Amino acid sequence: MDFKRLDEFAKDMLFEAGRRIRESFSYDLEIETKSGANDLVTNIDRETELFFIERIKTFDPSYRILGEEGMGEKVDNLDGVVWIIDPIDGTMNFVKQHRHFMISVGLFVDGVGKLGYIFDVMREDLFYAIAGEGAWYNDSPLRKLQPVVIEEAVIGINASWVTPNPKINHEKLIELVRAVRGTRSYGSAAMEIAFVVSGKLDAYISMRLAPWDIGGGTIIAKEVGAIATNLHGEWFDFLSNDTFIIANPHIHQLILDKYIEEK
Ligand code: 2AM
Ligand code: CA
């Protein structure tokens, strides 16, 4: 496969999707809730996913699309070429802040990640990777992650996991919050992953992420030496939701061993 050509195709598609989303602020958003009051979707999420499906199917009708909004065919395996897409990651930020939301795209061939993109729509900032060739932030190559110790780490975590919750021992996470230099919470998993692969964060942890939240980011992670696993230290099937950690390789195992205790 010609990944250079696919990379150019993917970037054109992302930049145009970004333009459309930015223009959408001039008309009304239709906002609905999905699984709960803080799980939002808008007409723009759906329209953007449809735009990707139309573009990709025009490029090659055999390609399949696994998108958050389920606007394409049902995808229950990763045979052949599958694009895993979140048209807007951080929908609450999109709705409330008009910034801090990303488009996340991963191209998988027979289940192996080949091209990964995280696009910050309002800043027009692109983090991306071509498997085996490297990763970039716009035109600048991303470096391999440099060693970091836990005391100097800045980690991304949502405050709700540090309160009593059914998924994880929050007391241990409090110890982690005390051990590190600082914590951040941006409200877009793809943005936090983009920050880890570019060294702006040293780890990001979530109890509940879907394939489209992490598909593109895990491909970029491999190129810079960031380690992405579920909280058991395992790789993902990219078809179901899972727990998630991406971290600098020097602290990934330490965080799992010392600070993570799932219920
Ligand atoms: P979204 O905006 O695409 O829904 C917010 O903390 C992060 O978690 C966002 O990346 C958000 O993605 C994701 N998220 C929110 N609700 C989710 C759910 N029910 N399952 C998986 N990821 C979710
Ligand atoms: Ca989304």
Same domain flag for 57 and 121: yes
Inter-residue contact 217 to 197 (CB < 8 Å)? yes
CATH of the domain at 158: 3.40.190.80
| Coil, strand or helix at 33 | strand
Q: Is the CB of 96 under 6 A from ligand 1?
A: no
Same domain flag for 123 and 238: no
Atom of ligand 1 nearest to the CA of 101: 2
Is 12 buried (19+), middle (13-18) or exposed (0-12) by CB count in 10 A? exposed
pTM to 2 decimal places: 0.97
Q: Is the CB of 189 under 6 A from ligand 1?
A: yes
Domain count, the chain: 2
Q: Is the CB of 89 under 6 A from ligand 1?
A: yes
Distance 236 CA to ligand 2 centre (A): 19
CATH of the domain at 136: 3.30.540.10
Atom of ligand 1 nearest to the CA of 41: 4
Amino acid 111: pLDDT: 98
Residue % of the chain over a pLDDT of 90: 93
Same domain flag for 137 and 168: no
Atom of ligand 1 nearest to the CA of 68: 3
Q: What is the pLDDT of residues 204-243, one digit of tens each?
A: 999 999 999 999 999 999 999 999 999 999 999 999 999 9
Same domain flag for 18 and 84: yes
Atom of ligand 1 nearest to the CA of 212: 3
Domain's final residue, options 109, 141, 173: 141
Domain's final residue, options 89, 120, 141: 141
Domain's final residue, options 110, 141, 172: 141
> Residue 65: which pLDDT band, with cuts at 50, 70 and 90?
very high
Catalogue the E-assigned strands of 34-187: 40-42, 64-67, 81-89, 102-109, 112-120, 125-130, 134-137, 140-141, 154-157, 182-184
Same domain flag for 254 and 159: yes
CB environment 97-136: b (16+ within 10 A), e (fewer)? eeebbbbbbbbbbeeebbbbbbbbbbeeebbbbbbeeebb
Q: What is the pLDDT of residues 119-177, one digit of tens each?
A: 999 999 999 999 999 999 999 999 999 999 999 999 999 999 999 999 999 999 999 99
H-state helical runs in the chain: 3-23, 43-59, 91-97, 170-179, 189-197, 211-224, 252-259
Q: Which of 99, 102, 188, 212 to mutate to test the pocket of ligand 1 (most atoms within 8 A of CB)?
A: 188
* Both structure tokens of 174: 């409090």
Same domain flag for 111 and 158: no
Q: What is the pLDDT of residues 9-47, one digit of tens each?
A: 999 999 999 999 999 988 878 999 988 988 889 999 999
Same domain flag for 192 and 244: yes
**Alpha carbon distances (Å) from 160 to 35, 139, 205, 207, 252:** 17, 36, 12, 10, 21
- Give the pairing of strands 40-42 and 31-33: antiparallel
Q: Is the CB of 90 under 6 A from ligand 1?
A: yes
Range of the domain at 188: 150-259
Orientation of helix 211-224 relative to helix 189-197, angle to 10°? 0
* Both structure tokens of 211: 């394939």
Amino acid 40: pLDDT: 87
Q: Is the CB of 158 under 6 A from ligand 1?
A: yes
Q: Residue 99: CB partners within 8 Å, gap ≥ 6?
A: 93, 122, 123
Same domain flag for 166 and 228: yes
Same domain flag for 240 and 154: yes
Distance 147 CA to ligand 2 centre (A): 32
Q: Is the CB of 49 under 6 A from ligand 1?
A: no
Same domain flag for 16 and 120: yes
Residue for token digits 């593109």? 216
